[in-house]
Amino acid sequence: MSVDGSTTDAQIIAQLKQSHGIAPPQATINKARNAIIGSALTSQQLEFQLIQAWLARVQEKDPGTVIEHAVHSGNFSRAFISPGAARLAWSHCKPFIAVDGTFTKNKFGMVLLLATSMDADSNLVIVAWAMVNTESEETWTWFLRLLLVACPTLGLSTTTIISDRQKGLLNAIETVLPETIEGFCCFHLAENVKKHYGMEARRLFWPLVYAATESKFNDCMAALRQHKAGAADYLDDAAVPHKKWASYAFPGRRFEHVTSNLSEIANAALRQHRELPPLQILAAIYDYEMGHFYKRASSASKWQQALAPHPYEAVLKALELSRRMNVNSASGLTGLVKSVSGKTREVQLPEDPAKVITGSKGSFSCSCGIPNLLLLPCAHVCCFAAAQKLDVIPYAAGWYTTEEWRATYKVPYVPVSRDDLTPAEIEAPNPAKKRGRPQKKRFEAGKGKAKQIESSDSATASSSNSAPFVPIEISFCRTCGDLSHTTKQCRSAH
């Protein structure tokens, strides 16, 4: 069997028992496993001496890469990397970035800082990562300054940054990115509400997050106040500004991510990598992204629809749901749409669909709130557009197009070897003293996916006397997007 960072002691013991009929003590197995994957303290100390040489090699192979390596009092302090391919990819991603910090699982307990975004297909793109000795305002300021160098548009007022208000991060964002729209992670707010005011208060919190209008928000807040006045006071605008988390007041775009879930996904995907020695962690993330860039570039080249797969499926479902609705037009651009639940929505289409492509606020709207949140046509917009004999595809923002999806991965990562690196004369930081068993991942609830918002009318219908709502399933080729055949029948796949 092959042994890597994901292999457990129990798996090795089971393999030895099955293959050789022996069962060594777990302490012996653990020592052997650490030696194989380089987790011994001496091996990890030596790896800190190679990080600077590896970063320099990456930059030599890809001059567009932004790197920094810092030493304090002769000891390794921090390292940053934003590969050239990731920087170019960012220019075609949605103007949304999530930042987060997580502990590594090796002998030194360094902190891994991540900056992640989304492509047109809502795939995770790791824009930059760094290894620091501690999570503080100083290290976050250092990280964000370098991130701004790598991605200058991050500092624009049209970009959104989401965080879970870690140590010193809020002050760092205000210092480095004063114009960037800042959002709070609603999951962490929900957990604070739950901790102090109970599960029911937490349940009443989520409608506040998604309320599309101030009047709807006030109704939801009144329900929360009736249940727990303290919870309502905790979420008061003066205490936790509504413009940082509530949809009705949020000035930017969050693209269905009201939490720092992107970074949490990255943490989960990199869970095994975080158990590796220091240099191997940095290089493993690089290799991980290199493989994903190639796979996505290949998938994008075969896709034949105007929108990338994720928004394409969302629009197909909206179109299918719109067939059950009725329209009462006031003009060629405005009207009322009545859904199966009996609710009536006000729809406004733009005179110039190009405004939607650029993501201009107010370019088109529906009182359900979905177009404003996601810049994708909801079922009500689809229904009204069909009545006017209009194509709904132009009402999806340009960030969702296949053209942008392909451009994201047009420039691949450059393969970089770790062999024959020249060690630097620096010392490793002091080993960390770990207490207890480290948490592998966070189990998260209330992520707020678009599908949950989109089916609000349907959910209302199912709670009434009408027949229960059946979730809409759309069949289409997952390779090219054609509705006339399946993936197995697709010629593009062969």
SS3 167: coil
Q: Is residue 330 part of a domain?
A: yes
Q: Does the reported pTM lie above 0.85?
A: no
pLDDT for the residue numbered 307: 95
pLDDT tens track, the chain, 494 positions? 776 655 766 788 888 888 888 888 866 876 777 666 655 567 777 889 999 999 999 999 999 999 999 999 999 999 999 999 999 999 999 999 989 888 887 677 789 999 999 999 999 999 999 999 988 999 999 999 999 999 999 999 999 998 877 768 989 999 999 999 998 888 888 889 999 999 999 999 999 988 878 888 999 999 999 999 999 999 999 988 999 989 888 888 887 777 655 556 666 666 667 777 889 889 989 999 999 999 999 999 999 999 999 999 999 999 999 999 999 999 999 999 998 888 999 999 988 776 665 555 556 889 888 888 788 899 999 999 999 999 999 889 889 999 999 999 999 999 999 989 999 989 888 766 655 444 544 444 334 443 333 444 544 444 444 444 455 677 778 788 777 787 777 876 55
* 227 alpha-carbon distance from chain centroid: 33
Per the domain annotation, does 181 fall within a domain? Answer: no
CA–CA dist 181, 319 (Å, integer) = 32
| 282 neighbors 79 (Cβ within 8 angstroms) | yes
Whether 292 is covered by a domain: the verdict is: no
Amino acid, res. 228: K
Contact between 114 and 121 (Cβ < 8 Å): no
CA–CA separation, 127 vs 129, rounded Å? 7
CA distance 126 to 150: 13
What is the spatial distance between Cα 312 and Cα 318, in angstroms, rounded to a whole number? 10
- When divided into structural domains, the chain yields a total of 2
- What's residue 6's pLDDT? 59
Tokens of 137: 């305002």
For residues 176 and 141, the answer to whether their CB atoms sit within 8 Å is yes
Residue (of 370, 391, 390) closest to 380 by Cα position: 370
For 21, 394, 406, the CA distances from 355, given in Å and listed in that order, are: 70, 10, 22
Beta strands at 181-184 and 160-163: parallel, antiparallel or unpaired: parallel
Rounded Cα distance, 297 and 289, in Å:
12
Cβ contacts of residue 393 below 8 Å, gap of 6+?
Answer: 306, 307, 315
Per the CB < 8 A criterion, the answer to whether 99 and 379 are in contact is no
Q: Is residue 8 domain-resident?
A: yes
Question: Whole-angstrom Cα distance, residue 250 to residue 373?
Answer: 10
Whether residue 143 is contained in a domain is answered as no
**CB neighbours of 127 closer than 8 A, spacing ≥ 6?**
82, 86, 87, 89, 90, 93, 97, 115, 116, 117, 147, 150, 151
Q: What is the pLDDT of residue 360?
A: 53
Strands of 75-82's sheet, edge to edge?
66-72, 75-82, 124-132, 111-118, 96-103, 160-163, 181-184
The answer to whether position 481 is within a domain reads: yes
**What integer pLDDT is reported at residue 387 of this predicted model?**
95
**Residue 365 falls inside a structural domain:** yes
Whether 341 is covered by a domain: the verdict is yes
User: What is the rounded distance in angstroms from the CA atom of residue 374 to the CA atom of residue 356?
Assistant: 11
Range of the domain at 456: 309-400+448-493
Q: How far apart are CA 238 and CA 72, in angstroms?
A: 41
Beta carbons within 8 Å of 136's beta carbon, 6+ residues apart: 167, 168
Single out the residue of 149, 161, 156 nearest to residue 179, CA to CA: 156
Structure confidence at residue 141 (pLDDT): 97
- pLDDT, residue 479, reads 82
- Separation between Cα atoms, residue 308 and residue 321, nearest integer Å: 20
CA 343 to chain centre: 32
